[in-house]
Amino acid sequence: MRLFLIENTLLDDLVNQPDKPMSGDLVAYFRPVQTIDRTILDALKRDGVRVEYAEARVTQAEAAKIDDFAENFATTWFKDGEHDPVLVDGISIGEFVSPELAQDFAMAHMVRFGTICQRIINECPNLREIVCDMIDGMSIFRCHPLGMPRRTILVDFSKARGVPLRELQVSNSVKQWGANYSFTRLGQVLKSYAGGFRPSYILPRLRSYFSGNTPGVYLFYHPGASRLIKFLSERPEIDVYTDRPGHNAIAIRFDHFAPLFSLQYLRAIHKLRQRAAALSRNQDKNPFVYDGIDYVRYFSRLLSLSMGTRLIMHVVKILQAKRMLRALRPKLVVINGVSASARAIIHLAPQTSTQVVFMGHGMNSLPLNLNTLSKLHHNLKWICHGDEHPYGTHIAEKDAERCPSIGSTLISHMAAVTGAKTRPATRKRVLIIGFGAGLTHTVKRVHNVDTYMIDFLTVVRNLVPKGYSFTYRQHAGPQNLDEYLPDLMKRMGVTGSIALNTSGTFVDAMKSHDLLITNLSSCIYQTIALGRPVIIHEPEYDSNTLMGILGSQDFEKPISSNAKDLEAAVLAHEDPESLVSNFPKMMQQEPYWSRFFGAHALDVDQKIADLIMTQVAPSEGPSVLNV
């Protein structure tokens, strides 16, 4: 028998190949977009060809184990047992680079792919040939070839099995959904540094040198923090710094400070490079084996990419953050994400009197691995989005003090929206948000991207003739909107049936729509705060793997997992007494509002500003942040 392992070829094209699958062969395909309907699947089966969806080989439980395996490598490869030889200024340089190592190179996806292929190959006793269309660096998203060595892995597997591997020529390649290959380069760092000499930055920096002993608060800017910055800037007793001009704050960016390399950091870089080189030379002595496959030989190749300019760039960000803390001496820093600069400040803060507050820019539904993205210590506090959002993105509750359930700045912005809370009469204008949380350092969900897109396009095809209109808005992230979506719409016969919303904010878009379809997105909470109905569409939905509204199990939610249920939920929205219609009103009442949105969600900006003031100016009274 022959085994066809394909993910870039449409099944319709496969059966037209000169050497197409025959009776007794097995076709394992990796992406649902390779076959939109069952017509070609049924035809292959009638011809005696076995066909299976390869991703179904890995359960959600095993996906979690694969995530843990990849995380273990990313966070320990540089250590000698329990000893960390690259610890400088309280920062493990190896641990600092590990999140990007796992995310940018999609390590866990490599393991998932290897696990699937090995199991399929092992179940083919009379295998005489493997046929594949795999390309290194290409899967559902684009990645560096060494970060996604799919063809290389199959070459190794075929040699181990003693069967030939034949390349299948792809004439009409399936489109990639996302791209994940953008690294910070030296030129970008130099350009950012030069930007610090612009008047909008150099003048505030000079002003900071003459601010005297006025307490300072530094905030990493994001749109949700604009009102908080405004409230703080109105307080004359503190200086407010941010990394973007405006809002009467002093604009100073961390990357406008020149990094000063010390001998300690240079030694740590050298040791890290030595460890990476030793790892590639001693593959048989390293215990990074999953399901019988030694992944060190693949992982060590990734390290070779990380140990050059890329490693230097990480250390540069640490040193720039260090200089900024020394220059500004802020009493408190507010971070809103897990960028390298934010992580550097979290690591460095214990050496100063600076307190760090984590204020997430979104409302997470998916607990993520790699909590080392935010190394926790006693200086770190965070603002909870609700009683059942006990931690911000990447921050484990068990490792930090619990701050009060205040709310998210996303929700307080909803209170200022006018004209969006009145229930429209049409009920047939639907806004669809693209697949959310398509992250590369976890393998639990991203393989469902195609299913999510096919499901909602099926609903579009069925309901446009019934008077519904649909708009698609891309979710934040590296999605290939220019190629992937138009190609899929064409193949499903819905070209021209969907409007694309590519400008303005989500709130602007929601004002002109009656219903939202999304999955793991903060838009769920924003829409409920507006009083508008939302349908949460999550293929392979499992409440045990999620948190917040999606993770709760004590009440019914408007959730669908397939196209049929999604269409039924959209139609149910026309009934004002349906679950879809009444769910927002239910969530806006207690105890649900405090559970999922926070007791002070509608005035969270002012509340956080008050709490920060009590932290930096003790005369303001006791600080809740110290509780």
Q: Closest Cα partner for 386 from 591, 609, 607? A: 591
Q: Summarize pLDDT for 323-363 with one digit per residue, the tens.
A: 888 888 899 998 877 677 888 888 888 788 888 888 777 77
Question: Which parts of 138-177 are beta strand (E)?
Answer: 141-142, 165-167
pLDDT at 395: 47
Phi, psi for residue 384 in degrees, rounded to 5 = -85, 145
Sorted by sequence, the CB contacts under 8 Å of residue 297 that are 6+ apart come out as: 280, 283
Report pLDDT for 393: 43
Please determine, for residue 425, whether its predicted confidence score (pLDDT) is greater than 80. no
Q: Is the pLDDT of residue 476 over 50?
A: yes
pLDDT tens per residue across span 38-61: 889 999 999 999 999 999 999 988
Which of 271-275, 309-313, 526-530, 573-577 is the least confident region? Answer: 309-313
**Which of the listed ranges 197-211, 376-390, 393-407, 454-468 does the model predict with the highest average pLDDT?**
454-468
470 - beta bridge partners?
Answer: 430, 498
Q: How confident is the model at residue 213 (pLDDT cuts 50, 70, 90)?
A: low
What mean pLDDT comes out for the span 224-241? 85
Q: Which residue type occupies 572?
A: A
How far apart are the C-alpha atoms of 196 and 542, rounded to whole Å? 47
Q: With a cut of 70, say whether residue 62 has pLDDT above it.
A: yes
Q: pLDDT exceeding 90 applies to what percent of the chain?
A: 33
Q: Is 454 or 435 the better-scoring residue by pLDDT?
A: 454
- With 50 as the cut, is the pLDDT of residue 622 above it? no
Residues 6 or more apart whose CB falls under 8 angstroms from that of 37 comprise none
SS3 content of the chain, % helix, strand, coil (to 5): 45, 15, 40
Residues paired with 26 in a beta bridge:
3, 50
> Rounded distance, CA 386 to CA 402, Å?
12
Distances (CA, A) of 6 to 138, 154, 156, 159, 369: 12, 11, 17, 18, 29
- 366 pLDDT band, cuts 50/70/90, is confident
Q: In whole angstroms, give the CA distance from residue 33 to residue 297.
A: 32
- What H or E segment, with its residue span, contains residue 13? helix 11-14
Instruction: Name the residue with higher pLDDT: 317 or 198.
Output: 317
Task: Give the pair of three-digit tokens for residue 212.
Answer: 């005297």
The helix-helix angle for 93-104 and 309-328 (nearest 10°) equals: 120
The pLDDT, as a whole number, for residue 186 is: 63
Identify the weakest region by mean pLDDT among 121-130, 195-204, 375-384. Answer: 375-384
**33-47, 418-432, 450-464, 482-496: range with lowest mean pLDDT:** 418-432
| Residue 603, amino acid | D
Task: Please tell me the least confidently modeled range out of 79-93, 298-312, 370-384, 559-573.
Answer: 370-384
List, in order, residues 6 or more apart from 160 with CB less than 8 Å away.
none
Q: What is the 3-state secondary structure (H, E, C) of 318-366?
A: HHHHHHHHHHHCCCEEEECCCCHHHHHHHHHHHHCCCEEEECCCCCCCC
Q: What is the pLDDT of residue 374?
A: 43
pTM of the model as a whole:
0.88
Structural domains present in the chain = 2-57+107-179 (3.40.50), 197-252+329-408+601-626 (3.40.50), 419-589 (3.40.50.2000)
Give the range among 12-26, 93-107, 401-415, 480-494 with minimum mean pLDDT: 401-415
**537 three-class SS:** strand
